Structure 1
Amino acid sequence: MTAPTVLTIETSSLGDRSYLVHDGDVALVVDPQRDLDRVLQLAEREGVRITHVFETHIHNDYVTGGYALARRTGAAYHVNAEDDVAFERDAIRDGDVVEVSDTLRVRAISTPGHTFTHLSYALEGERPYVFTGGSLLFGSTGRPDLLGQDHAEELARLQHGSAHRLVSELDESTEVMPTHGFGSFCSATQTEGDESTLAKEKQTNPALLKDVEEFVRETLDGLDLYPAYYAHMGPANAAGPGAADLEPPRPVDKEVLRERLTAGEWVVDLRTRQAFAAGHVPGTYNVGLDGQFSTWLGWMIPWGSPVTLLGESEEQVAEAQRELARIGIDELTGAATGGPRDWTDGELGTLATATFADLAQVRHHRQVAVLDVRNPKEHADSHVVGSVNIPLGQLPTRLEEAPEGEVWVHCASGYRSSIGASYLAAHGRQVVAIDDSYDEQAGTVGLPLEGASTRS
């Protein structure tokens, strides 16, 4: 029997993976993203027909491409029979076996914890795999609080039981193929590594090393904020979303950009924070495409707000459009390419940048405020004494809490600080963006720190 070919489709900006599995003739797909062209092109390259699509759960971090892919290809669309969805699906339940082909045999395993109806899919054969979605991740599990705090403890207990069920029912050589856990906010804790087996997880995964009470307590204590746009993903996925529309947004000129900025609309500069700092159109927000672009823009923007993109090239705009479509932001009101001089006839803005050493020095000479835009758990672990913590995703709704006067904005590396500083600057604040590593530098330059990790 020929071993199946298992191909991974990375969506690194969201910290997710999808999978295409084939036998040389027919293929199945697990948890596809909304931009279907990647899946279809891969299947064409491999010379295979997609006949089955499997969803591990109703996703909370992206708009699925599963429904649209099944309609496009005529594939059977396997979604848990217990999920409340508005479309026809091939209902699947715990223990059901799907014979995709003579060599591709898939068994559904109920693994609640990330959601109540979560399924994992075991691909049986000489080289076994299990597609675990948001259940068992590399050294972690999917977070249990996305359905609300009222369910978090119950789901954490179920997550522990699901992990143990997988290792008890499947051979320890089974390769673990999760959807989440590569920077995704769906992961309960940070994950490490690029591959794993059940044998390895038995040695490293807290869900398999700790008893249920300790696991639940540590999991719940370790949870931090997750993106606000997650609230819109579940309903979109239960409704049966269409494929991403990747037609280029309408080009806009300087006058239109000026009108949109005057109206307070979101005009987003996709360039790196260094390029933005050197010169930009005043009033624009810098959300660089070189980081978790869609996560942070989707978190900050009032849902449904018009968005105009500014990029160095049509390719950059197209990449940003693809990223946004994955989380259901479809209504782009336009785009412009080139550089700041192509976008305005007015005076350009600049953004002052600095290091933590600069902050330590300036505090000897004058009073400056420090705004920490990291998430609460990061701030609680260690922070600059006297700093104000407003998580970046909450900055638009908590703008009045930002300090007055000269504000030095920092995060862990500089990416989020540029976003936050650009937002404050667009609202008339005097800001300096710290473009530096907090972990490597903040504690070595004489800044007073406090927090859980600083206590002996």
Structure 2
Amino acid sequence: MFFVDTLEFEGLGNRSHLAGGPGAAVVVDPPRDIDQVIAAAARHGVRIAFVAETHVHNDYVSGGLELARVTGADYLVPAGAHVSFARTPVADGDTVTVDAGLTLRAIATPGHTPHHTSYVLTEDGRDVAAFTGGSLLIGSVGRPDLVEPRLTERLARAQHASAHRLADELDDAVPVLPTHGFGSFCSSSQATGDSSTIGRERRTNDALTKDADTFVAELLAGLDDVPAYYAHMGPANAAGPAPVDLTPPARADGEEIAARLAAGEWVVDLRSRVAFAEGHVAGSFNFEGRGKLATHLAWLIPWGKPVTLLAGTPGQIADAQRELARVGIDRPAAAATGDPAGWIRSGERLASFPRARFADLARLRGRRERVVVLDVRRGSERADGFVDGSLHIPLHELHRRSGEVPDGTVWVHCAGGMRAAIAASLLDAAGRDVVAVDDGFDAAVEAGLTLRADSTG
């Protein structure tokens, strides 16, 4: 009897899969930190015989090469992928025997990348699972614009054809097990649901319910911003990532933290936005450890800039270090835990700034007090409605565009509060007076603020 274990990585919106029989298994699209994959295989008492990549990933650093080296597994990589290491190239129709009666079949599904390959697990001649990587997602498909702009439309059409090929070749009951689509920016649109089958996708997925021209036009019109760090992921995976090092970073005191800030390095406070606003090291940035830490930090930080992490406990540092390693931020320069009062030099004071609700902003505007309202949501979010008179600078552009923010106290908001807290910390570190609006955007309407619903404001 076969099994499939799914490992979820909520911060990146991705999943990896371990599938096998009584004695051996295959890992599809493994994470950088391979220890948890090895632990999952140990729980099943199986040997990892194969490691399979659906494509050269653009959104995270793969642990495939290291996992294959450690376990002795065959490393299956699509034949069309240009990589700099030894691997077993797989082409359309190739099969491998995972365990007795259990085989893995490669199906060429270009679109997310030109070489993208899906894998179908077959037990005793019956297809039992489809590992679709960045091809057919739950209610969506992988975006086609991460490789080369001139290929985007061609790859979008290939996505449509690949989705139809999977639907044509597989029975309705076959589970669809993608890598992307659970909040990942590799998804071309918001995926819905946690699990699916070929039959469900046949009824609900735009790639399978719309003609190619309509699908492609709508897909291309809906593509959102691409995280800046994606530019570094593909090359790292093609070159062959180094083994991950998760040993604890060196400990820093207030003097060292001050020195690192003075040197222009990034000091990142992982605590909640509430705790950060109440008291933090002046010049530090707030990226909550719970949330999309890796996505937001890797998107904003100048690539290669040293990072010092601050948190309440060593466990929080370890969790953040693991998540950051998945996107190539491998070794924190230093770390500090405990009471924030211990993160500053003797005689210095912690900085702070206020938090507020949209109702507070409405009252302020009702008194005709002039403030700067900064919206740091993405353009696609703002197009659905925004506070009248607000300035729009998406969070991922704020660090380089902060000079565009007018003088005065800045009330910064997003859709829920987390990105506003990041933005407020960036502006606070630059010496601006800020108020972080810690509220859901729906509350702006309830507060009586005037909204506009076009993209020109």
Same-fold call, TM cutoff 0.5: yes
What aligned pairs does 1:122-141 form with structure 2 within 5 A after superposition? 122-125=120-123, 126=126, 128-141=128-141
Three-state SS of the structure 2 residue aligned to 1:413 is: coil
CA drift of 1:31 comes to: 0.1
Which residue in the other structure is 2:438 paired with? 435
Match of 1:410 among 404, 409, 413: 413
Which residue in the other structure is 1:201 paired with? 201
Q: Residue 59 of structure 1 contacts residue 233 of structure 1 at CA under 8 Å; is this kept in 2?
A: yes
C-alpha distance in 2 between matches for 1:415 and 1:226 = 19
CA drift of 1:332 comes to: 1.4
CA drift of 1:382 comes to: 1.1
User: Which piece of structure 1 moves more, 39-48 or 63-72?
Assistant: 39-48
Which residue in the other structure is 1:112 paired with? 110
CA drift of 1:160 comes to: 0.6
What aligned pairs does 1:6-405 form with structure 2 within 5 A after superposition? 6-125=4-123, 126=126, 128-344=128-344, 345=346, 346-365=348-367, 366-405=369-408
CA drift of 1:106 comes to: 0.8
CA deviations on 1:125-179 (whole Å, 9 max, x unpaired) are: 3461100000001100001111133221111111011000000011111100000
CA drift of 1:103 comes to: 2.4
Q: TM-score, normalised by structure 1?
A: 0.97
One-letter amino acid matched to 1:417:
A
Q: How much is the aligned-residue C-alpha RMSD, in angstroms? A: 1.3
C-alpha distance in 2 between matches for 1:174 and 1:242 = 36
Which residue in the other structure is 1:444 paired with? 446
Q: Residue 382 of structure 2 contacts residue 455 of structure 2 at CA under 8 Å; is this kept in 1?
A: no
One-letter amino acid matched to 2:350:
L
C-alpha distance in 2 between matches for 1:433 and 1:151 = 41
C-alpha distance in 2 between matches for 1:452 and 1:180 = 31
One-letter amino acid matched to 2:452:
E
Runs of 4+ in 1 over 6 A off after TM superposition: none
CA drift of 1:270 comes to: 0.3
User: Which piece of structure 1 moves more, 323-332 or 12-21?
Assistant: 323-332
CA deviations on 1:374-400 (whole Å, 9 max, x unpaired) are: 111111121111211111111112222
Identity %: 55
User: Which piece of structure 1 moves more, 74-83 or 94-103?
Assistant: 94-103
One-letter amino acid matched to 2:353:
L
Q: Residue 157 of structure 2 contacts residue 216 of structure 2 at CA under 8 Å; is this kept in 1?
A: yes
One-letter amino acid matched to 2:423:
G
Q: TM-score, normalised by structure 2?
A: 0.97
Three-state SS of the structure 2 residue aligned to 1:100 is: strand
Aligned residues: 451
Three-state SS of the structure 2 residue aligned to 1:446 is: coil
CA drift of 1:32 comes to: 0.2
CA deviations on 1:48-69 (whole Å, 9 max, x unpaired) are: 1101000000000000000110
Q: Residue 406 of structure 1 contacts residue 430 of structure 1 at CA under 8 Å; is this kept in 2?
A: yes
CA drift of 1:315 comes to: 0.4
CA deviations on 1:424-443 (whole Å, 9 max, x unpaired) are: 000011111000001x2122
CA drift of 1:453 comes to: 10
